[in-house]
């Protein structure tokens, strides 16, 4: 699992930088402006991931398969189609976001932060496609360093420069700095990736047969991603509808603290995705099951330990955002529990996706979304941020259960054999 460890090291480093950025933003903006910035960035995340139309994930499924077959013409055609689809979908989402912002008059912070957020969406989406392309080749440093380390450092430097110039600490300045950092990091990643990708020398492929498959797979993941993102942030959106920006800022800070546990699952997923695809192409379901069991174990154990540590020091970490943010300790245990639940099935969604079972991923995320919104609407007006935390926990439970069931139905017999024999643990040295 060396590649997973490498990814985790990058993500831990980026988390450290990211927390410094968030601490700086929270202290410079205050709870209210930080809440506005958090909501604007939330919409960037939703629009950016949705703008990929699933291609940032299907690239991990299809490109290893085409390389294994030696079909580099189809490999390059997929990348070309992916770029065009991402540009089209993310551009439409950005325009819709800008139009809605004008019509609705923005949120509590006005129009400007959300117009900048709309401009960020296509850049974020293309950067996510670049990340998926690098992951499909196993180039994990190239996949993660530009978006998670370089971009964070740029945001930190820009915010510090703006503060040094005496500019006001508002959500507008924070979003402007974020947009510039996104553009620079994506440009660097694009140049480095294009230099490393081989070019096909053969004739261009007729895409009439494969294009419907690509679009169908991407479309299902687009729906699954949309449901996942709304499930992930539905509690925050509902919270913003009922409570003032300061409460949103406190809750968002607590979610940032708990989200560090998600780096483990993300790192294992990044290392396993293209391996799952290669094993699926070879047809060795028993080896695939062993790898899936191992991935679940190496995800769950660190998250359990990390969750306990984070629960003990959570108040101190939240205090670094500012005195007002310590109130987030009331909801932090619920958010930690949600991360532990998700870790129990490891990268089950990647396993389902690369085996062509995107419908299970979509159903799982949709169920979580429905639970999140329904629970949030019922509890947030009564319990405030604790109600939002309970909604997040319930949604994660629903999603995790369906993903786990889907993986079991897909590989049940092989999973039983791998679990009984202990083969899942024994694959560590094979990574």
pLDDT, tens only, 341-393: 988 888 787 778 777 777 888 888 889 999 999 999 999 999 999 999 999 99
Q: How far apart are CA 268 and CA 281, in angstroms?
A: 20
Query: So what's the pLDDT on residue 413?
Result: 56
User: Which DSSP state fits 204?
Assistant: P
Is 80 exceeded by the pLDDT of residue 54? yes
Percent of the chain with pLDDT over 70: 86
pTM over 0.95: no
Of 19-33, 85-99, 144-158, 395-409, least confident by mean pLDDT is 19-33
- Domain segments of the chain as ranges: 2-426
DSSP code string of 303-342: HHHHHHHHHHHHHHHHHHH-GGGGGGGGTHHHHHHHHHHH
Name the band, by pLDDT with cuts 50, 70 and 90, for residue 338: very high
DSSP states along 75-130? HHHHHHHHHHHHHHHHHHHHHHHHHHHHHHT-BTTBSHHHHHHHHHHHHHHHHHHH
- Among the listed ranges 164-173, 314-323, 392-401, which one has the minimum average pLDDT value? 164-173
Q: Which of 58-67, 202-211, 331-340, 352-361 has the lowest mean pLDDT?
A: 202-211
Name the burial class of residue 357, with classes exposed (0-12), middle (13-18) and buried (19+) by CB atoms within 10 angstroms of its CB: middle
Which of 208-222, 363-377, 391-405 comes out lowest in average pLDDT?
Answer: 208-222
Q: Is the pLDDT of residue 426 over 60?
A: no
The percent of residues in the chain predicted with pLDDT above 90, rounded, is 27
Which residues lie closer than 8 Å to 366 by C-beta, 6 or more apart?
223, 224, 227, 231
pLDDT value of position 160: 81
Answer with the residue of higher pLDDT: 217 or 270.
217
pLDDT of residue 373: 92
**Which tokens go with 302?**
């660190």
The residue that leads in pLDDT, 29 or 275, is 29
Q: Which residues contact 202 (CB under 8 A, 6 or more apart)?
A: 72, 73
In sequence order, the 6+-apart residues with CB closer than 8 A to the CB of 235 are 251, 372, 376, 380, 388, 389, 391, 392, 395
Judge whether 379 and 234 are in contact, CB under 8 Å: no
Structure token digits, residue 141: 């440093």
Asked if pLDDT for residue 106 goes beyond 90, the answer is no
Q: What is the mean pLDDT of residues 307-327?
A: 89
């Amino acid at each position: 699992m060396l590649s997973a460890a490498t990814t985790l090291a990058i993500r831990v480093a980026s988390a450290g930088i990211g927390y410094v950025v968030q601490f700086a933003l929270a202290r410079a903006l205050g709870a209210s402006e930080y809440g506005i910035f958090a909501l604007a960035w939330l919409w960037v995340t939703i629009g950016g991931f949705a703008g990929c139309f699933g291609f940032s994930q299907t690239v991990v499924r299809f490109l290893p398969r085409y390389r294994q077959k030696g079909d580099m013409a189809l490999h390059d055609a997929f990348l070309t189609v992916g770029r065009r689809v991402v540009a089209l979908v993310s551009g439409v989402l950005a325009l819709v976001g800008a139009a809605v912002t004008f019509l609705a008059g923005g949120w509590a912070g006005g129009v400007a932060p959300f117009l900048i957020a709309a401009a960020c969406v296509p850049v974020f989406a293309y950067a996510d496609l670049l990340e998926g392309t690098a992951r499909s080749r196993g180039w994990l440093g190239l996949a993660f360093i530009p978006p998670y380390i370089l971009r964070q450092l740029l945001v930190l430097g820009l915010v510090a420069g703006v503060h040094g110039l005496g500019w006001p600490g508002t959500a507008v300045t924070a979003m402007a700095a974020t947009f510039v950092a996104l553009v620079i990091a994506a440009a660097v990643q694009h140049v480095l990736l294009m230099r490393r990708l081989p070019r096909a020398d053969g004739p261009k492929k007729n895409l009439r047969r494969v294009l419907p498959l690509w679009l169908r797979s991407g479309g299902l993941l687009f729906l699954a991603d949309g449901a996942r993102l709304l499930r992930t942030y539905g509690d925050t959106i509902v919270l913003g509808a009922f409570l003032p920006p300061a409460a949103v800022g406190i809750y968002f800070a607590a979610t940032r603290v708990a989200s560090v546990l998600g780096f483990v699952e993300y790192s294992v997923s990044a290392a396993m995705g293209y391996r799952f695809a290669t094993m699926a192409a070879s047809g060795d379901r028993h080896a695939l099951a062993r790898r899936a069991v191992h991935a679940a174990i190496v995800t769950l154990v660190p998250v359990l330990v990390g969750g306990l540590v984070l629960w003990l020091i959570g108040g101190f970490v939240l205090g670094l955002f500012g005195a007002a943010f310590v109130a987030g300790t009331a909801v932090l245990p619920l958010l930690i529990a949600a991360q532990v639940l998700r870790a129990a099935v490891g990268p089950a969604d990647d396993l389902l996706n690369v085996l062509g079972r995107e419908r299970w991923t979509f159903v799982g995320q949709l169920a979580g979304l429905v639970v999140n919104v329904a629970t949030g609407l019922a509890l947030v007006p009564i319990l405030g941020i604790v109600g939002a935390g309970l909604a997040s926990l319930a949604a994660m439970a629903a999603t995790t259960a369906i993903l786990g069931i889907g993986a079991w139905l897909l590989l049940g017999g092989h999973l039983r054999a791998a679990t009984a024999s202990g083969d899942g643990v024994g694959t560590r040295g094979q990574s």
